[in-house]
A = this chain, B = another copy of it.
Amino acid sequence: MAAPIARPAGKVGRPGYDLDSLLAVAVTVFNQRGYDGTSMEHLAAKLGISKSSIYHHVPGKSELLRLAVDRALDALFAATEQPDTTTGPAIDRLENLVRRSIHVLVAELPYVTLLLRIRGNTTVERRALTRRREFDHIVGELVQAASDEGSISADADPDLTSRLIFGTVNSLIEWYRPSRGLGAEDLADAVVKMIFDGLRVS
């Protein structure tokens, strides 16, 4: 994406960073310290490079935040535009969107984690929250359509149902770690089964 940045003098052997690898480290630090609690000094120290080397790639930490949350949001919006989330019965489109969102969460875990912890203190954060609401709106419309077609109980309030579905999906960031051996597909199977069919053997 971008050329590797020069290694700082006296740090021979330390790898250079391109924008993607710099972003990956920045996101880790943001998730550990919180975005507000992270300074360019913290990032430079963690990266083992100078602040000016970071400024070679981005004008400041807000641009790193923007790139990070957009990576998560772009992947989630891409999930809403697939054949299996845009055609067919609404209940199937909804299930497929849940399944694809879990795959995004697993593939982009630090980026989705950062996105879900945003509180809206800056322009970049507020813009990300606006995009999150657009995504929630798409989910809400699918739930409403599934209710209209009779595949979800009409008793279930669509807004509440949307919140419960994505509350369950989003809660995965609190404990899921790919290294522990549970794959994205098995995770998605378990979540989809609970949400759509329930745990109880009837």
Residue contact B174 to A170, C-beta cutoff 8 Å: yes
Flag whether A9 is at the interface (Cβ < 8 A). Answer: no
Complex alpha-carbon distance, A139 and B88, angstroms? 38
Task: Verify B161–A172 contact, CB threshold 8 A.
Answer: no
Q: Does A163 contact B (CB under 8 A)?
A: yes
Interface: A39 (CB within 8 A): no
A91 to chain B, nearest CB (A): 6
A93 to chain B, nearest CB (A): 13
Nearest CB on B from A125, distance (A) = 15
Given contacts A152-B201, A156-B193, A168-B168, 11 further A-B contacts (CB under 8 A): A37-B37, A91-B200, A151-B200, A151-B201, A156-B190, A156-B194, A161-B199, A164-B191, A165-B199, A167-B175, A195-B198
| A42 CB to nearest B CB, Å | 15
Nearest CB in chain B: distance from A171 CB, A: 3
A198 and B190 contact, CB distance less than 8 A: no
Determine whether A20 belongs to the interface, using a CB cutoff of 8 Å to chain B: no
Partner of A199, one of B187, B191, B195, B200: B195
Count residues on chain A whose CB falls below 8 Å from chain B CBs. 36
Partner of A182, one of B152, B160, B200: B160
Q: In the complex, which residues of chain B have a beta carbon less than 8 angstroms from the beta carbon of A148?
A: none
Give residues 144-202 of A contacting B (CB, 8 Å): 146, 150-153, 156-157, 160-161, 163-165, 167-168, 170-172, 174-175, 182, 187, 190-191, 193-202
